[in-house]
Amino acid sequence: MLLSLFLTFLKIGLFAYGGGYAMIPLIQHEMVTSSGWLAMSEFLKIITVAEMTPGPIAINLATFTGYKLAGFPGAVVSTIGVILPSFFIVLILTKVFLWVRKNPKVKGLLLGLRSAVLALIISAAVIIGKTALLDFKVIGIALACFIALLWLDPHPAIVIAVAGGAGILLMG
Amino acid sequence: MIPLIKREIVDNHHWVSMKEFMEIIAVGQTAPGAVAVNTATFVGYKMARYKGAIAAILGVSLPSFLVILAIATFLLRFFNTPIFTAFFKGAAGAVVALLAQVSFIFGKEIFVEKLSIILTGVALVALLWLKLHPLLVILICSGLGFWLGNKTRISPEDSLIEEGKRGGKEKK
């Protein structure tokens, strides 16, 4: 379990272009859809806590998912797994960055990568939306949050806390 | 998180100049994983080579790691109580809204290139209808970008540095 957690997060860390949000669809695919290690509702709780906790979402997601599946050792290997690819790629980029920046082929590659990541995040919104937005009250909360996010751009932790409070008021 | 990093390493400690900071953010967004972790690696390496990079990574990840562990240890047992269940139901609406907002912002940023609109569309079809593996979709889109990036004209200005500037204004 520990080894497969480590390798899974290594893989996720290697492909999470775009930071923590890019990791959500990848973790969802690895942990919920293909292995069934987590139920969708459990995964949603992990995202909620990861968003509300200060610090990089990528680290929060890895630590919590690892802890949930294999306790403290799971948290350690998952966090290390998700950091390692960033570490090595940044070290390589510090040496070849000037070349990378000017190469049109590399630009095209990054463009393709970013497009795929955007599609991944949209698909995560669709897939998570299908399981979360079953109740018209939750749909209302989601719409209100979306409008607030686009207009006022508040910190995600505040949006989640307010939405959770609304959940307690409406459904508690 | 980026303004916070800037205040510490540029304004307070003068470890890097503003120009270098932009470059760091650009590298941070080119490499996979959390921008905070990537920035820490880059600055740490610049200051004290590998030891510096490792120290900086530990510094940026440990607080998140410990906070998540504390939450998991002390609060996990309450997650199934009615009040937490209602909280998480409401918060799930906010999570969907956040993913939608991130998609929106990210889309605005990369859709300057026609190629990325096409690639995102292709990736969405591959993910939601064909149910291809996310990593396969990432590889296909990067490959297409790599191949087509040379043929279509990618914007004349240096897009990576532009991203660095935009990144500096973002909150996270």
What residues does each domain of chain A span?
2-132, 134-172
Q: Does B13 reside within a domain?
A: yes
The total domain count for chain B is: 1
pLDDT at B159: 46
Cα distance between residue A87 and residue B22, in whole Å: 19
In contact, B141 and A116? CB cutoff 8 Å: yes
pLDDT at B172: 35
- Interchain CB contact of A96 with B (< 8 Å): no
Least confident of A119-128, B47-56, B106-115, B153-162: B153-162
pLDDT at B29 over 80: no
Which of these, B41, B124, B54, lies nearest to A120 by C-alpha position?
B124
List the domain range (segments joined by +) for residue B44: 2-79+158-169
* Average of per-residue pLDDT values in chain B: 84
Q: Does B129 reside within a domain?
A: no
Question: Tell me: the pLDDT tens digits for A65-113?
Answer: 999 999 999 999 999 999 999 999 988 887 777 677 677 888 888 889 8
Considering chain A, what percentage of its residues have pLDDT values greater than 70?
A: 98
Which of these, B136, B31, B131, B1, lies nearest to A16 by C-alpha position?
B31
Q: Does B29 reside within a domain?
A: yes
Q: Which residues contact A45 (CB under 8 A, 6 or more apart)?
A: B79, B88
pLDDT class of B7 with cuts at 50, 70, 90 = confident
pLDDT at A122 over 90: yes
How far away is chain B from the Cα of A3, in angstroms, using its nearest Cα? 19
CB contact under 8 A, B89 and A115: no
Q: Does B61 reside within a domain?
A: yes
Q: Does B93 reside within a domain?
A: no
CB contact under 8 A, A51 and B98: yes
pTM: 0.84
pLDDT at B113: 87
CB contact under 8 A, B68 and A44: no
Q: Does B132 reside within a domain?
A: no
Q: Report the Cα B169 to chain-centroid distance in Å.
A: 14
Which ipTM was obtained for this model? Answer: 0.88
